Chain A
Amino acid sequence: MSERQLLDEELSALLDGELDPGPAVELRARVARSPELAARLDALRRVDAALRAAPEPAAPADLLGRVYAAAGAQPAGRAAPPRWRRWLPLAGGALAAAAAGLALWLAPGEDTRAPVTAAPLDLSSASDEEIAVGLELETLEDLDVIEYLDLLERIDPAEQPGRG
């Protein structure tokens, strides 16, 4: 490597703040004494300035969404629904069964009154509290009971608790 190249390498390291304090002071003093070295340092510095002037491009609006999709994840702010919400379809079934049972219980054979029917609960728009009231649950935590009931339906009756 020629002396000019060696000097260029040191000037470059000086610009990047990669020289030790001693050599850096020495090189700065040398630059101050030499118009040629000062011009070279300025030329190297202008390269950096030109590179840094490049603006940051705007990312496509959908790029973050694409990242989430590729990662197989939900975007932030669209977190998975609460655990009990996953049982809404089952809750619907249980609610319908409960309503049917209630209707039978309320309708004696000789009664000619018009059947009293509650408006069906729209589970897609019902609030948590409305669902809880509809199911006669004391707390939203009781929705876990539905999960248990559903499991009971899926296993052999002989194996169900209390039937052994």
Chain B
Amino acid sequence: MRAEDDDAQLMLAFRDGDAAAFDTLFRRWVGRVLRYLERMLRDRAAAEELAQEVFVRVFRARQGYRAEARFSTWLYTIATHLALNELRRPHRRRPHESAEEGPALRLASAEPPADEVAHSRRVARRVERALAALPERQRSALWLAAVEGLSYAEVAQALGTTEKSVKALVHRARSALADRVSGEEEA
């Protein structure tokens, strides 16, 4: 059985009263949801608050769960809606952490130096910085397609748009990041 099918089975089990199934889903997905929300919000504390809300919504929506889409698509649709709403709040607090020194990069910087590792780290830093500067829908589309492995149809569902639009969003985002990294390497 594929992992995705397993997730759907766990959600169905949770719907039918198996509370431990929810804990399993939470532990399996919370890290990835947090990572996505951190990239979207650029604020660790806000990402944690929103991750909590994502799983609260999963919890509350269990009775209506029908496994018509992959569990991950459903989960990221919830997370994306919450993130985009949060970003549109007029008095949203400013991020605590800059894109250059996000949590992932701080973890990476603790590793021993080596030329190749150091180069990869520099590239990752540039990509992270450029990602943070992208429009939010481009950022979301690229992350969901390139990192989380959602199809364009699934990303379209999460963003409430068309596959054609997703193709354009992902292309613009990926090209912008590649140009930025290449430009900095040449400079």
Contact = CB atoms under 8 A, between A and B. Distances in A.
Contacts of B51: 59, 63
Nearest to A13: B167
Given A43-B178, A44-B175, A46-B181, A53 B48 contact: no
Most chain A CB inside 10 Å of its own CB: which residue of B44, B52, B53: B52
B134 to A, nearest CB: 11
Contacts of B12: none
A44 B127 contact: no
A122 interface: no
Contacts of A66: 52
A8 B120 CA distance: 23
A16 interface: yes
Interface stretch (B72-80, B84-92, B143-151): B143-151
A76 B23 contact: yes
A67 B27 CA distance: 12
Contacts, number: 125
B118 interface: no
A58 interface: yes
A13 B171 CA distance: 8
A47 interface: yes
B181 A47 contact: yes
B174 interface: yes
A67 B152 contact: no
Interface string B1-45: 000000000000000000110110011001110110011000010
Interface in B141-174: 142-143, 145-147, 151-152, 167-168, 170-171, 174
B82 interface: no
B56 A59 contact: no
B174 A54 contact: no
B32 A73 contact: no
A9 B103 contact: no
Interface residues on A, range: 35 or more
B35 A56 contact: yes
Given A8-B171, A46-B123, A73 B59 contact: yes
A125 B152 CA distance: 59
A21 interface: no
A105 B22 CA distance: 55
A59 B152 contact: no
B98 to A, nearest CB: 15
A71 B39 CA distance: 26
B65 to A, nearest CB: 15
B38 A47 contact: no
B178 A46 contact: yes
12 contacts: A12-B167, A46-B123, A51-B131, A54-B128, A54-B147, A56-B31, A56-B32, A56-B35, A57-B38, A57-B104, A68-B59, A79-B19
3 A-B pairs closest in CB distance = A56-B31, A76-B19, A50-B127
Given A16-B151, A48-B174, A54-B128, 5 more contacts: A12-B174, A46-B181, A50-B181, A59-B48, A63-B48
Interface of B: 19-20, 22-23, 26-27, 30-32, 34-35, 38-39, 44, 48, 51-53, 55-56, 59-60, 103-104, 107-108, 120, 123-124, 126-128, 131, 142-143, 145-147, 151-152, 167-168, 170-171, 174-175, 177-178, 181-182
